[in-house]
Every structure is written in structure tokens, then in C-alpha cells.
Amino acid sequence: MSATPTTRPVVTEREARQVAEAAREQHWRKPSFAKELFLGRFRLDLIHPHPLPADEDVRRGEEFLTRLRAFCETEIDSARIEREARIPDETINGLKELGALGMKIDPEYGGLGLTQVYYNKALALAGSASPAVGALLSAHQSIGVPQPLKMFGTPEQKERFLPRCARTDISAFLLTEPDVGSDPARLATTAVPDGDDYVLDGVKLWTTNGVVAGLLVVMARVPQTEGHKGGITAFVVEASSPGITVENRNAFMGLRGLENGVTRFQGVRVPAANRIGPEGAGLKIALTTLNTGRLSLPAMCAGAGKWCLKIAREWAGVREQWGKPVALHEAVGSKIAFIAATTFALEAVLDLSSQMADEDRNDIRIEAALAKLYGSEMAWLMADELVQIRGGRGFETAESLKARGERAVPAEQILRDLRINRIFEGSTEIMHLLIAREAVDAHLSVAGDLIDPDKSLQDKARAGAQAGVFYAKWLPRLIAGPGQLPRSYAEFRHGGADLSPHLRYIERTARKLARSTFYAMSRWQGRMETKQGFLGRIVDIGAELFAMSAACVRAELLRSRGENGREAYQLADAFCHQARLRVDALFTRLWSNTDALDRKLVKGVLSGTYAWLEEGVVDPSDDGPWIADTHTPATPRPDVRRTVPE
């Protein structure tokens, strides 16, 4: 069946922002530690004492981790996956038999019903054996069919699809298009109502798991017509439906075993019963799903940090230069210290955020986003430092090392594999903007109309009165706090181990961060949203403070339970000292930076002013469009969808 080419919507910058704003959760029904932190309020009571899982959850979780570890050690051949650029059928089937596809699915639907904490521990374990396996499990459960159905599906939909997801069918999430990334307002895939069905037409790009999936979550635009509200809508689609073609299996610099493709829909009929939620709710469903779904990436980043630390410790203790192990040379030792301290902090952020998600006492949308942002950035840095510590062997492939008789350490592979995490599920740049929007929500709620050009004078006057009341109470509280009292947070002081200075620093710095944000909003007002460099640094400061808080709280938890408490305090102390240096540098760069100069320079680059600088090289790129034209009817292409035989 030949489909009519879809027409891409023409969307202005303001309209795109309105679509994104309408999709976000508008209200805060529960407290948020990170939100309070950005407002200058260090609510340690929201995370300390550290929340803990129930004993039964621990028992079931540890039991599964034991089985998963045995499988990872005996049944996952990471070198083979890297060499063949695919996960073997028997490995996928083994994961199914193990129940790994249903880790987050309730037992009543055939799943394991693991908590977020143990789901993330499982992903860290599987991802350490093979990042491609970790990505397959994560994409299936964190953003694929199970999570949106768990949160928004009808009882009938759960009964139909969740048992399949738990045991047999891999799922995929399809939102991105060749010309649509973080701007879903321009989504071109359509779902046209036709009787009791919708008819899907369009092309989806970078469909992780899409090559092997049996079930798809597809975001498509429903036209607004009589009886149909329309808007971006979510559907569960059978991957074997007539009219679906996987046109390409994409290949990447890392995650070579990733089953990621290009999927075309041509007149695909989807029953209305497969629609998730009402029409127009697709983006809200996607964003809400990601609130906890984003924790899967920092889980694998924390696992990567643990592996980097292990290799750095073992190698740097054996390799000698100038009469002593390279670890004892300060230039190398500082890198190992960074890896160790940062790994401790990443695990602290992950476990704290995951346990808060399980308890459902707090709104963790900012915490999860910060965990994803911070984890992906810091894991990349740790892997880069590991390659540097390994020297030439870090640049050499594991296969080459093995061929000449040395341990096959895939350091260069983990660097390649981790790179995508700074782009997956919201790039670092988009995460900065998303978190910044949530961080200033309280300000926009009371004073947003003052800077909105579309609001009337009456609306602005009313907003001005509201803002006056809010800031009269809020601003004085930013002047002084417990961070200025030398005996504050004494419960984090035990003999020679003392983390209380770091907690006082966090409290003082949170107030400074809030004052800086308020000053910037007063200075730039409606132009604040264009100051992406400033907003990014504000968010990065908040991320460091959150990580410091999590590290201190985790260290105290381990001390109180007699689990390497002394060593945990040392790691937390080292991390906090390192983080404080980064925070101080970020504060300096808030106001002393090259943002204005960079904006001027980039205009010159785009206009060709500096094109002469590109002379003297050849471009090995092939000819072709920068973005594939998917608006024309498809040319016949083979379907490369892969069916995994059981």
C-alpha cells in the first residue's frame, strides 16, 4: 500500500516552546529536594536519613542479581558482540528465560516486579558485561511499552501486552524522526482516524530495539477534526503489522550490538484500543515516563565507573615507571582518585534517586534528570581518564591486545560506548534547558506574566502583586542559614571523620545559587531563556550540590550500618573537595565568560566570514543531503527487521 507523503508542520519558535510547555507536568504535588536546592533551601530532611528498601524487596532483588551475575559471567560474550556487531539469538533468549525482560513488570503480568533500586543494579551489572545488552534491556523497559502502559495503560491493555513484554516480546520507543529531535512540535508522522482504527504514515529514526522489537510505542500526530481533539498521541503498534518496514539497521561508533534502525510506516492500521491515553497526551506520557526512565542511563554509567576503577587500580599497581608503580606518580594518582571519588558519588546519586522513586514520597523529576546529566558527563570523563592511564594500551583494541599476548582490556570500547549517553534520552544541552525550566518554575509561577509579551497590563499588574508577596518572604531567607554556623550538621562528624563542613558549604552555596538565578532573571527578564550558557552553568552547579549531598548521606548510611563507613567517609570527603573546586569555577564563569564573544563569532562562521580557515584539507564525506528526505513516497527497500528464533 503506497502512502501519501506526510507534510511536516511549520512551527515557529514560540509555538514549539508552547508545545513543550503544555507537555510538562504543571504542578508539584510532592516535595522535591532538588527543586528546593535551586530555590536556596537545603532540605536535608528530604533525603536524610537515607531511605531504604523493604526487606522483601531486598531479598527478591538480591536473588535475581545472583542469577543475573551467573548469566553475565557465563552466557554473555562481550567480545563476540563487539566483533559481530549484534547480540546473539541465544543470549537474547537466555535473557528472556531469566525473566530479565520483565524486571519492572508486576508479577501479576508475569514479571519480576523489581524495585527501581534493584532494576538499576541489574542494568549496571548487565551493562558491565556488555553495554549493548544493557541498552537493549533499558530501552525495552525504561521507555518501551512496559513503562507507559504501567503508568497510563488501561486494564485491558496491560492484560494484552505486559505478559508478552515480560517474557517474549522486546519493545521499542519511536519518537525521533530524521528532521525532529528535541523539538517534537514538528513531528510529521500522522495517525489519521479511520473508523475504529488509526492509519499511521511516516518515518522514525534511531529506533533503539526497533530492529528486533515485537511491540512498538509510536508517537504520531492525530489531525484535529470533528470528534477528534488531535495532537501528538501514543500508540502500541505490533511490529509485524502490514506496512511497517525496517529500512536500515544503523551502525555507530559505539554500542555496536545495538539493534537500532529506521522504521517506515505506510498505511499501517492500528486499532483505537491500542491508543495509550487520550489524543494529544503523547508528549506528556513520554515526558512522565522519562521521569524515572532516565535513571537507567546513570545506572549503567555508575557500573562503568566501577569497571574503570577496577582496571585503573589493577593496571596502575602493576605498571612501573622510574622505579615505582605509575599509581604512585601524582599525575596518574590524581586521575585514579577522581575515578574512585566520582564512582562513589554516582552510585550515591543513583541509589538515592532510585529509592526516592520507589517510595514515591518525593517528586523526583529534577533528581532523575540531574542523575542522567551528571552521570553521562562524569562517566565519559572517567573512561577518558582510564584510556589516558592505560596509555597506548588504552587506545589499542582488546582484540589486538589479546592477539599479542596481553590482557584484552576494552578501554577504548567503553569510551566509545559511553559517548552516546551524553545524547541518548535528552542531550546534555537539552537536559540543561529542561532542568533549568523546572528549577525556575517557582519564579515563573508568580512572576511569569511580568515577562510574557502576550499578557495584558492587568495581568502584569496582578503578577507584580503576587511577585511582591513571594519575594518579600523568599529573598530575606537567602541572606543567612545554618551553613554559617560552625556546629551545624554535627551528625556527620565522627571522630576524625567529618563531612559537616561540606554540608555547610552546600547550604551556603544553594543560597548563593538562588541569589544568582534571581539576579539573572531580574537583569534579563524575557531574554533569560536565550542565555543558555548561563542556564547550563546554573544547572551544573545544582548537579554538583546534589551529588555532594547524596555522597554525604550515603557515607553516613554506610557508617551507621557498619559497611565500610570509614572508607565511605574518605571517598565522600575527597569527592566533595573535588566538586567544590568545580562549583567555584562555575560561579566565576557565570559572569566572566566568552558567551557574547562566542555568539558574535558563530554568526561570522555561519556567514562564511572565516571560510578561508577551512582551506588546505580535503573532505572525505560522501555526497548526499544533510537530512534524508522522507516526505516523498518510499522506494522499495528490503525489510531488515530481525526475528529472534526461540
Residue 644 binned pLDDT confidence (cut-offs 50, 70, 90) = confident
Query: Is pLDDT at 629 greater than 90 in this prediction?
Result: no
φ, ψ at 604 (rounded to 5°): -65, -40
Query: Is pLDDT at 454 greater than 80 in this prediction?
Result: no
Let me know how long the chain is: 646
Beta-strand runs (E) in 434-585: 493-494, 497-498
* pTM (2 d.p.): 0.94
Query: Is pLDDT at 8 greater than 70 in this prediction?
Result: no
250: CB partners within 8 A, 6+ apart = 206, 258, 260, 261, 262
Give me the active site residues, please.
425
The CA-to-CA distance between both ends of the chain, in Å, stands at 31
The C-alpha atoms of residue 328 and residue 325 are separated, in whole angstroms, by 6
pLDDT for 189-232, tens place per residue? 999 999 999 999 999 999 999 999 999 999 999 999 988 999 99
pLDDT for 553-597, tens place per residue? 999 999 999 999 999 999 999 999 999 999 999 999 999 999 999
Predicted pLDDT at 580: 98
Residue 290 binned pLDDT confidence (cut-offs 50, 70, 90) = confident
Predicted pLDDT at 17: 64
Predicted pLDDT at 293: 82
Residue 636 binned pLDDT confidence (cut-offs 50, 70, 90) = confident
The C-alpha atoms of residue 406 and residue 393 are separated, in whole angstroms, by 10
The C-alpha atoms of residue 29 and residue 434 are separated, in whole angstroms, by 19
Predicted pLDDT at 512: 96
8 Å CB contact between 264 and 634: yes
pLDDT for 502-552, tens place per residue? 999 999 999 999 999 999 988 888 788 889 999 999 999 999 999 999 999
The C-alpha atoms of residue 256 and residue 131 are separated, in whole angstroms, by 9
pLDDT for 406-432, tens place per residue? 999 999 999 999 999 999 888 999 999
- Single out the residue of 328, 349, 348 nearest to residue 337, CA to CA: 328
pLDDT for 19-59, tens place per residue? 666 666 767 889 999 999 999 999 999 999 999 999 999 99
Tell me, rounded to whole angstroms, the distance of Cα 159 from its chain centroid.
Answer: 29
With b for 16 or more beta-carbon neighbours within 10 A and e for fewer, the 451-487 pattern comes to beeeeeeeeeeebeebbeeeeeebeeebeebebeeee
The C-alpha atoms of residue 9 and residue 186 are separated, in whole angstroms, by 5
